Chains A and B, each alone.
Chain A
């Protein structure tokens, strides 16, 4: 907002060029000012397009939930959220899976990122490639693979003591199979956020400073490196949560009913407005969570600035 105001002041009385190219390599002062006014047009266009792209679908969805033709406006769909069968178990399953995925991703990646950074920086490429691999494997292929493995296990593990474990892993209340699939799917983004957080730190110097102050290496990692990775860890958690809440393919094909699957099933079962209302509410909740996160980090920054 401030930027827009500033550019409006700067370009007062100047004819705004009609091009929306953004700032070119401006040669002179006048070029910089002209560049600013171009940004303004560019910004406007981008904002409009992006706004339409996001708001139109949300708006029409909202319309769908409150328009109860021919009676007119109605909030019934939202009232039904609390009574509709199957929603709460599905949401609970999704949140459980998300929590499990986040914990597992942390356990896998944080030691890996720390070890690669400290021990063998050259291995970083290997770890990065491994973590990025799930991006190029289509989810449907991953699911097909998991189904095959499950079928094979079913055929071959029956006489062994592992069979009980195998069945437990597919428990509909907490399907470990699904959890493992989600961990794999979360790896690419989780690695990137954690690695970026790690790279922002001068890890070696910080560790040496901590050791110089009497902390053993392990303790130094826990007391100095992890607290400074907090923002990156929060990001990772949030991305993972979003991924798990929205995942449909794997869960649906493997026959589990978490949140996303419930919405789609309910929709086709004639519960249309309720499930869409749930989508809207989940969108709002997600947005609120984001807001809380950003306010939290902002308040921390302000508290630091005030002292």
Chain B
């Protein structure tokens, strides 16, 4: 977890990263992970793995706290799935360790790891009905048939499909199959739950439902969960913390709100949410930056050269009609409650600015406008 005491207040101040159309998203974010007796601590220590010429993991260090849902977020090929598969035991690192509750499990074969996994593709056993699928692990552990079925029915109830025990996978929809897969992953009461893009094969509506359900279950059970996704909205709305990965390394691991408000690197800033780059010049030895006729304090310390880009979220850009700045609205996109304006500055920089639809109605394309930023510390990055 972050050590910055200010982060607690910034949670409420930051608007939903999912965009103005999805007001329900931050609800899940706000709930902190409470330590639970069943949750285990997972640690990746210096994990390294190469496949031929490509480096999947380039020294990954990460700690997942007991009972927390941590999302591994990144573009495809960033190593997030490899990391998850190492915890499941399907990949072996070239170097480094995987620890569960302090115990090194790196060399333990997959079938003796205490981790339930839900796969991206439908992975139910086609020859078994839903109940037997869920009970498969119990059967492997030689649990009696009666007890096995009782447990399976319990779990089917838990995932909301109590009447589907006798159905075979080909008789179930994609969303139902993934629910059964979730029940199967939980059947052995694992210490860790692994979700490998479990929602990416589903359609949008089912995805939203299942997302909330997974989060609810995870919090009820208090199980430590690793969730791999390339969908930032999914990660931000579900996870206690999000670890952003890039090229086999971790860029930043923080709460969704902190990640959105204070991205540690330019990659995170631009991968998570939308970010504007506005040219500016550092002044006062790097403590302030001048842009758009304003002088704003710089967030954190910087050792960059004078020519920098200031990183600003669209919702933090203020646009007013008129003025002699020479900026022009070049396009508008209606998003519901808000409207996204594209504004061109005199130097050619294109900006995105989110305004309430009511305000934006007075600024159609072609309007001359003035762009300014609120008097708050801003993030800077070296100019591209």
B358 in contact (CB, < 8 A): no
Residue among B90, B117, B136, B170 with max Cβ neighbours from chain A (10 Å): B136
Query: Is the CB–CB distance between A208 and B127 below 8 Å?
Result: no
A99 in contact (CB, < 8 A): no
Stretch at the interface among A5-13, A33-41, A129-137, A209-217: A209-217
A-B contact count (CB 8 A): 77
Query: Is the CB–CB distance between B188 and A213 below 8 Å?
Result: yes
Given contacts A202-B121, A205-B121, A208-B110, contact A213 B127 (CB under 8 A): no
A219 in contact (CB, < 8 A): yes
Query: Is the CB–CB distance between B187 and A213 below 8 Å?
Result: yes
Query: Is the CB–CB distance between A206 and B123 below 8 Å?
Result: yes
Contacts of A211 in B (CB 8 A): 89-90, 109-111
**How many angstroms between the C-alpha atoms of A152 and B113 in the bound complex?**
57
Contacts of A208 in B (CB 8 A): 88, 90, 110, 117, 119, 123
**How many angstroms between the C-alpha atoms of A205 and B126 in the bound complex?**
12
**Nearest A residue to B187, CB-CB:** A213
How near does chain A come to B363, taking the closest CB pair, in angstroms? 48
A286 in contact (CB, < 8 A): no
Interface string of B120-158 (1 = CB under 8 A from A): 011111110100000011001100000000000000000
Contacts of A212 in B (CB 8 A): 88, 110-111, 113, 115-117, 185
Interface string of A214-246 (1 = CB under 8 A from B): 111101100110011010000000000000000
A307 in contact (CB, < 8 A): yes
Q: Contact check: which of A206, A214, A230, A304 meets B125 at CB < 8 Å? A: A206
**Nearest B residue to A205, CB-CB:** B123
Query: Is the CB–CB distance between B123 and A202 below 8 Å?
Result: yes
Using C-beta atoms within 8 Å of the partner chain, give the interface range for chain A.
20 to 34
**Nearest B residue to A215, CB-CB:** B140
Contacts of B129 in A (CB 8 A): 304, 307
**How many angstroms between the C-alpha atoms of A227 and B136 in the bound complex?**
14
B271 in contact (CB, < 8 A): no
Q: B interface, by DSSP: helix, strand, loop or mixed?
A: loop
Query: Is the CB–CB distance between B184 and A213 below 8 Å?
Result: yes
Contacts of A227 in B (CB 8 A): 125, 127
How near does chain A come to B183, taking the closest CB pair, in angstroms? 12
Q: Which of A74-115 contact B (CB under 8 A)?
A: none
**How many angstroms between the C-alpha atoms of A304 and B141 in the bound complex?**
26
B359 in contact (CB, < 8 A): no
**How many angstroms between the C-alpha atoms of A115 and B137 in the bound complex?**
24
**How many angstroms between the C-alpha atoms of A215 and B109 in the bound complex?**
10
Interface string of B186-222 (1 = CB under 8 A from A): 0110000000000000000000000000000000000
B166 in contact (CB, < 8 A): yes
A305 in contact (CB, < 8 A): yes
How near does chain A come to B178, taking the closest CB pair, in angstroms? 12
Query: Is the CB–CB distance between B123 and A214 below 8 Å?
Result: no
Contacts of B116 in A (CB 8 A): 212
Given contacts A214-B137, A215-B111, contact A209 B123 (CB under 8 A): yes
Contacts of A230 in B (CB 8 A): 127
Query: Is the CB–CB distance between A307 and B187 below 8 Å?
Result: no
Interface string of B93-123 (1 = CB under 8 A from A): 0000000000000000111110111010111
How near does chain B come to A123, taking the closest CB pair, in angstroms? 19
In the complex, 25 of the A-B residue pairs with CB atoms within 8 angstroms, ordered by the A residue number, are: A202-B123, A205-B119, A205-B123, A208-B110, A208-B117, A208-B123, A209-B123, A209-B125, A210-B136, A211-B89, A211-B110, A212-B110, A212-B111, A212-B115, A212-B116, A213-B136, A213-B137, A213-B184, A213-B187, A214-B112, A216-B109, A223-B136, A228-B125, A304-B168, A307-B166
* Interface residues in chain A, defined as those with a beta carbon under 8 Å from any beta carbon in chain B: 201-202, 205-206, 208-217, 219-220, 223-224, 227-228, 230, 304-305, 307
7 shortest interchain CB distances as A-B pairs: A213-B137, A307-B166, A214-B140, A209-B123, A211-B110, A227-B127, A211-B111
